[in-house]
Copies of this chain bind each other. A is one copy, B any other.
Amino acid sequence: MKKIGIVTSGGDAPGMNAAIRAVVRLAHSRHMEVLGFERGWEGLLTNTSRPLGPRSVSGIINQGGTILYTSRCPEFQKKEGVLKAAEILDRNDVYGLVVIGGNGSFNGALDLSKESDTAIVGIPATIDNDVFGADETIGFDTAVNTAVSEIDKIRDTAISHERVFIIEVMGRTRGFLALTVGLTVGAEIILVPEVKFEKPDLIENIEDSRRRGKKSHIIVAAEGVGENRVLAKEIEERTKSEVRLSVLGYSQRGGAPTARSRYLACLFGDKAVELILNEERNKIVGLVGCEITAVDLEESAKSTKPLDLRLLELAKELAI
């Protein structure tokens, strides 16, 4: 009986548990055993794992976080760490390792793939949505909806006080979350790291939309844009109006996954198990449109997923 390992790595994302459930149950159904390593790469280095069967993953499809825990693991960034992990996989007789995580985790997985005979398959799960080869990652839709719900609430106050609000969302160095959130809350302005903006234009935009009769102003800014606190001050001084900054926090990373994040988790899990059964090696599960695909691990880890700038243009046109 073939044995599969699973590890969740990097920041947690809603739907990771749904993905674990899918991999465990489908592997079982296809006559493979599953071993869950705990605390990300650390579990591989310390050989901390537990066997997972269909009942071990009952009732977790709607749970945020990860039942396997996750952590940062500096040791794994060194060659010795990677060799040790490879050795542990070998010692446990792990035929295929499913790595559930984001771009950072896949870079680690790539290092490991070069030292290990175990077939490695990545499942993209991160609220940053920055995995090349996957139009959408597990957790992204949930984070978007969490941010949208909070901003819908903040708009009540923005309108009541006729204020400008800058709302900072997560996304690390990328603007995927900010762009989709901004478009779907009807933000007047969206700031993403991928596009430079000039402060005078921004001020002009605010004053112009006031002239058109807008009572409040929502600016959705990616955390990767930088000093949003400074920006808030500057807009306040220039426009002589109250500006508030709200930094949406870690709730974007937790909570029950949306149906779509669970749906992707089911389909990605299915594909990952299939890839291992088909003896494919060192791939990540991808998504192109509605099609579940597979991308070479190295290509995904080394490439940069582009942001759709036409959406930014559309959002601007919709905010008139």
Which of A's residues lie within 8 Å of B, judged by CB?
8, 11-12, 14, 21-22, 25-26, 28-29, 39, 54-55, 58-59, 61-66, 69-72, 135, 141, 144-146, 148-157, 159-162, 165, 167, 180-181, 183-186, 212-214, 242, 244, 246-251, 253-256, 258-260, 262-263, 266-267, 270, 288-291, 314-315, 317-318, 320
**Known A-B contacts A71-B162, A160-B65, A251-B246; A184 and B262 likewise in contact (beta carbons under 8 Å):** yes
Known: A26-B318, A212-B54. A184 touches B65 (CB 8 A): no
Cα(A2)–Cα(B157), bound, Å: 32
Identify 19 residue pairs between A and B in the complex whose beta-carbon atoms are under 8 Å apart, listed by A's number: A12-B161, A14-B156, A29-B317, A39-B162, A61-B185, A61-B186, A64-B156, A69-B159, A70-B161, A71-B161, A141-B260, A154-B251, A183-B266, A244-B250, A246-B250, A248-B249, A249-B249, A260-B260, A289-B289
Check if B141 sits within 8 Å of A25, measured CB to CB: no
Do A21 and B318 form a contact, CB below 8 Å, given A144-B259, A162-B71, A259-B141? yes
Complex-state Cα separation, A157 to B70, whole angstroms: 9
Which B residues are in CB contact (< 8 Å) with A69?
A: 159-162
Contact of A25 among B26, B263, B318 (CB under 8 A): B318
Quick check: B289 and A184 within 8 Å, CB to CB?
no
Q: With A70-B161, A248-B249 in contact, do A318 and B22 touch (Cβ < 8 Å)? A: yes
CB-defined contacts of A251 to chain B, threshold 8 Å? 149-151, 153-154, 246
B255 and A156 contact, CB distance less than 8 A: yes
Which chain B positions have C-beta within 8 A of A249? 150, 154, 167, 246-249
Within the complex, what minimum Cβ distance (angstroms) separates A142 from chain B? 10
CB pair B29–A320 under 8 Å, yes or no, is yes
**Pair B157/A253 contact, Cβ less than 8 Å:** yes
Whether A12 contacts B148 by the Cβ 8 Å rule is no
- Whether A165 pairs with B250 at a CB distance below 8 angstroms is yes
Give the residues in chain B near A146, CB-CB below 8 Å. Answer: 153
Residue of B with least CB distance to A262: B184
Question: How many Å from the CB of A191 to the closest CB on chain B?
Answer: 17
